[in-house]
Structure 1
């Protein structure tokens, strides 16, 4: 039997801001070593020395994506080992007719057996305490009270976490919402309701179209009355007028920065 691959991930201790009265309550934050895009994945596959040329690996990678999309959009459920995916419809059907303006297709993802086994084969190393990081620990939609990153245009949206206060004079400072097409909407000063270190509340622009957006909060706030020389940024996916995909284990796409100007994964999702 082949030896199971072993993995290792580092974590740092951080105060749990949810339990404010318990000064000894801490959480563990994964230490990010960067982001891996498709180019990084292909490069890692080439580095495995499989004997396959980069062009061949890239072709197979693109072929798999094309086949998975075709199967999903034909009504198949796909079990790819790392994930299980299936499609579903949203919206009320009127007059027995599909209306793209009111109806949509979504793809739901759940953790697969391969990934669950990888988790079992992973060792977590605690490498000490983390500095005064910026992160988003929770979100809430004022319209629905949902805390799953859904939001409603024209209504208040709450971010809770640490060192979130939007402050500083750098051009990047502020909150932006970027759609999947790349269109960016900046939250203007008049849309801020609360701007505290542990809580920021702002109004989602009423004209914002439904869809998935990458929320990006950039600040120079460094705790107390201190402003940092460089900016720090935290990001999180939110879903305006729609619902997040099912991942079987919470959202993993959000991000924050633990040191000035550097981004890393959101410790709480």
Structure 2
């Protein structure tokens, strides 16, 4: 079964010298969570009850995590994963304030095969498109969407400059429970069309968040009447960068 990814041509904000340089920005189909996975698994008509599917997937996730956190290099066919350490180990002791564990993932055979079956449809050029192409936790240097509360978080893309008088304008972090943390103006320490540097609240609890940038900016001399937004999925996990067990 063939897959299709759709994208819009947009200006490449990374290369400033070549004004004709373009990248492809994904046209999102929407968001899918684990329940969508369960639904699609049931739709395959395997004959398995939903509770059996949920149990199997939950067990699979738990075993994969356990193997990784015991030093295994894990190859599932879908991905290859390996645990890594971050930070300088001072005095020969693990310091949760300076060191972290994260897991590096790369695509494996199943994903590579799906990529080969995927058609890319270019929808055309979308002028003044707003997008986020990359994020980075300035403390851990990770670009996987993990964040460290109380530290700087870098966002790169296009038309991101936070500007406008509408009350919706700003940067918010919204948790799964719907609680929104709106950053103060002075927490946006770099505010440019192609990049933002955010000072994250120190009181963010562990969990998944939606980082949303809302602005009326569209160009140097034009301001939109109605704000527009772009979102990016981010995560806080015990200070960002993954779990940090006490290791002697």
State TM-score, norm by structure 2: 0.72
TM superposition shift of 1:141: 8.0
Residue range with higher mean Cα deviation, 150-159 or 12-21? 150-159
Tell me how far apart the structure 2 counterparts of residues 107 and 186 of structure 1 sit (CA, whole Å): 29
- The residue that corresponds to 2:20 in the other structure is 24
- The residue that corresponds to 2:62 in the other structure is 66
Tell me how far apart the structure 2 counterparts of residues 49 and 143 of structure 1 sit (CA, whole Å): 46
- 1:198 counterpart = 2:194: yes
Number of residue pairs aligned between Structure 1 and Structure 2: 238
- The residue that corresponds to 2:232 in the other structure is 235
Tell me how far apart the structure 2 counterparts of residues 70 and 137 of structure 1 sit (CA, whole Å): 31
- Unmatched runs of 5 consecutive residues or more in structure 1: 245-269
Tell me how far apart the structure 2 counterparts of residues 117 and 56 of structure 1 sit (CA, whole Å): 27
Q: Find 2:113's aligned residue among 102, 117, 132.
A: 117
State TM-score, norm by structure 1: 0.68
Which aligned pairs between 1:156-235 and structure 2 lie closer than 5 A? 159-177=155-173, 186-202=182-198, 204=199, 215-223=211-219, 224-235=221-232
- Contact 2:168/2:227 (8 A) holds in 1: no
- Unmatched runs of 5 consecutive residues or more in structure 2: 243-248
Q: Find 2:30's aligned residue among 6, 31, 34.
A: 34
Q: 1:194 to 1:74 in 2, by over 3 A?
A: closer
Tell me how far apart the structure 1 counterparts of residues 46 and 142 of structure 2 sit (CA, whole Å): 44
Deviations 1:177-227 (A, max 9, x none): 56899986543223445534334455x259578999764322233444232
- Contact 1:165/1:198 (8 A) holds in 2: yes
- Contact 2:173/2:210 (8 A) holds in 1: yes
Q: State the Cα RMSD in Å.
A: 4.0
Q: 1:101 to 1:138 in 2, by over 3 A?
A: closer
